[in-house]
Amino acid sequence: MLTVNELALESDTPAHVVRYYLRIGLIQPAAQQENGYRLFTSNDAARLRFIRMAKHLGFTLNEIKQITQHAELGESPCDDVRKIIQQRIHENRAKIEEMMKLQERMEQALEQWDLMPDGIPDGNSVCHLIESVEGSEGHCHTET
Amino acid sequence: MLTVNELALESDTPAHVVRYYLRIGLIQPAAQQENGYRLFTSNDAARLRFIRMAKHLGFTLNEIKQITQHAELGESPCDDVRKIIQQRIHENRAKIEEMMKLQERMEQALEQWDLMPDGIPDGNSVCHLIESVEGSEGHCHTET
DNA sequence: TACAACCTGTGCGTTACACATAGGTCAAGG
DNA sequence: CCTTGACCTATGTGTAACGCACAGGTTGTA
């Protein structure tokens, strides 16, 4: 039987993360000592390693919970797994594009600011650098 | 004097977002009605538009709070603004790279799974699809 | 006056942890 | 036996930026 710390070592997971997974019910202790310490088996270490794999593939902890619960009931989670990752691929692509746009905005701004001096704020303006950036009024949707 | 909803319209910001900004003290009501309703001036709308610009450039609400507080005190926030965005450019670049790696992992997995049938979980395995993905044991650091 | 539609402030939920707190455990030293 | 210190434990709270729901107030119309 392993303690939290030993389980953490065995599964290559930080101990505070193991405790977090316990808190949200993603894993359960196999047994409990009289003093309240939680005890685990090597099977729990394997489960934790599975969780790390799934996270590495982009699954959220909630999805992993669903998957393991399905598996406990003997139902195949594979169909859901395929669907989730397809969805995640779409979402991730969109996020990456968004972040690349942001990257461009930031780099353009920094370049533009190179030619501008610092300013003292007055009642009208908070920071003229930020306010000078183009496209702040109608960047996404133009109203007729 | 404007109500929350009118301020939201005036500044092109969703009303619930205005309420959130009020909650965290990013903006303050200029006055208060007897019934507790908060009232604003057109200056607050300008402030809100500034906040949206800064957010569009990747500043966090906390940073924006610092910037506006500096400006209130008559100190120029421009120096901080330059530093923050440089830092943000670095962070964002790293995040984008990380997400592109994830994207590749997900796409490779999905392709690989095309050739694999769904499986029924047994005691040893939770989801053989996920467990079949390479590089899960030693993706970052290989132990001797 | 009754009713519906809308608006108000506020509390809680989200994700995946990080940190702090308060206390328990264990071996060494006196 | 007691204490000290290092380490370990469980749990509460904080994070970013809102989204949603709730109970109640306000306004317009009949």
Type of residue at A52: R
The answer to whether the beta carbons of residues A28 and A66 sit under 8 Å apart is no
B9-39 pLDDT tens trace = 999 999 999 999 999 999 999 998 888 889 9
Q: Is residue B97 part of a domain?
A: yes
Number of structural domains (chain A) is 2
Q: What is the pLDDT of residue B135?
A: 62
Q: What is the pLDDT of residue A136?
A: 45
Best probe of the B interface among A113, A129, A134, by most B CBs < 10 A, is: A129
Q: Is residue B137 part of a domain?
A: no
B94 touches chain A (CB under 8 A): no
Q: Is residue B141 part of a domain?
A: no
Q: Same domain, yes or no, for B86 and B125?
A: yes
B48-77 pLDDT tens trace = 999 999 999 999 999 999 999 889 888 888
Q: What is the pLDDT of residue B72?
A: 87
Residue matched to tokens 């300008």: B46
- The residue whose CA lies nearest the C1' of nucleotide D19 is B16
Task: Name the stretches of chain A with pLDDT < 70.
Answer: 135-144
Structural domain harbouring B48:
4-75
**B113-132 average pLDDT score:** 87
The answer to whether the beta carbons of residues B65 and B72 sit under 8 Å apart is no
Q: What is the pLDDT of residue A119?
A: 81
Q: What is the pLDDT of residue B60?
A: 92
Q: How many CA atoms lie within 13 A of A92 on its CB side?
A: 23
Q: What is the pLDDT of residue B139?
A: 39
The mean-pLDDT minimum among A103-107, B20-24, B100-104, B119-123 falls in B119-123
Q: Is residue B124 part of a domain?
A: yes
Q: Same domain, yes or no, for B61 and B23?
A: yes
- Taking CA atoms, B96 is separated from A59, A93, A109, B28, B100, in Å, by 18, 10, 19, 35, 6
Q: Same domain, yes or no, for B68 and B109?
A: no
What is the sign of the dihedral through the CA atoms of B126, B127, B132 and B134?
negative
CA distance B101 to A60: 17
Q: Same domain, yes or no, for B65 and B101?
A: no
CA distance B124 to A91: 32
Q: Same domain, yes or no, for B71 and B116?
A: no
- Average pLDDT value for chain B: 87
**B109-114 average pLDDT score:** 93
Model confidence band, residue B81 (pLDDT cutoffs 50, 70, 90): very high
The answer to whether the beta carbons of residues B39 and A95 sit under 8 Å apart is no
Q: Same domain, yes or no, for A84 and A115?
A: yes
Chain A hits for B106, Cβ within 8 Å: 57-58, 85, 88-89, 92
CATH number of the domain encompassing residue B27: 1.10.1660.10
A133 touches chain B (CB under 8 A): yes
CA distance A55 to A72: 19
Q: Is residue A35 part of a domain?
A: yes
Q: What is the pLDDT of residue A37?
A: 85
A99 touches chain B (CB under 8 A): yes
Q: What is the pLDDT of residue A35?
A: 81
Tokens of A3: 């303690």
Best probe of the A interface among B127, B136, B140, B143, by most A CBs < 10 A, is: B127
Beta strands in A1-144, from DSSP E residues, in sequence order: 31-32, 38-39
Q: What is the pLDDT of residue A143?
A: 29
Q: Same domain, yes or no, for B31 and B94?
A: no
Q: What is the pLDDT of residue A135?
A: 61
Q: What is the pLDDT of residue B143?
A: 29
